[in-house]
Amino acid sequence: MNKDSKDHKVTARINDAQNGFIEKLIQENKAKTPAGAIQYLINMAMIRGE
């Protein structure tokens, strides 16, 4: 299975609530890093068709 290359970078400023949610995803082992948590959220939105 080929992985898509990750050639694009995104930088965002987030508030404490958003950061807390990202940390929660990491604690729940849904991601290993903040970047991974954001990728997880994007992928979930894509699956749901949002």
50: how many CB neighbours lie within 10 A of its CB?
7
User: Distance (Å, rounded) from C-alpha 15 to C-alpha 28?
Assistant: 20
Per-residue pLDDT band at 1 (split at 50, 70, 90): low
| Arithmetic mean of pLDDT, 14-43 | 97
In 3D space, the residue among 37, 40, 16 whose CA is nearest the CA of residue 26 turns out to be 37
Q: Are 34 and 22 in contact (CB under 8 A)?
A: yes
Point out the least confidently predicted range of 8-12, 19-23, 26-30, 43-47: 8-12
| Model pTM score | 0.82
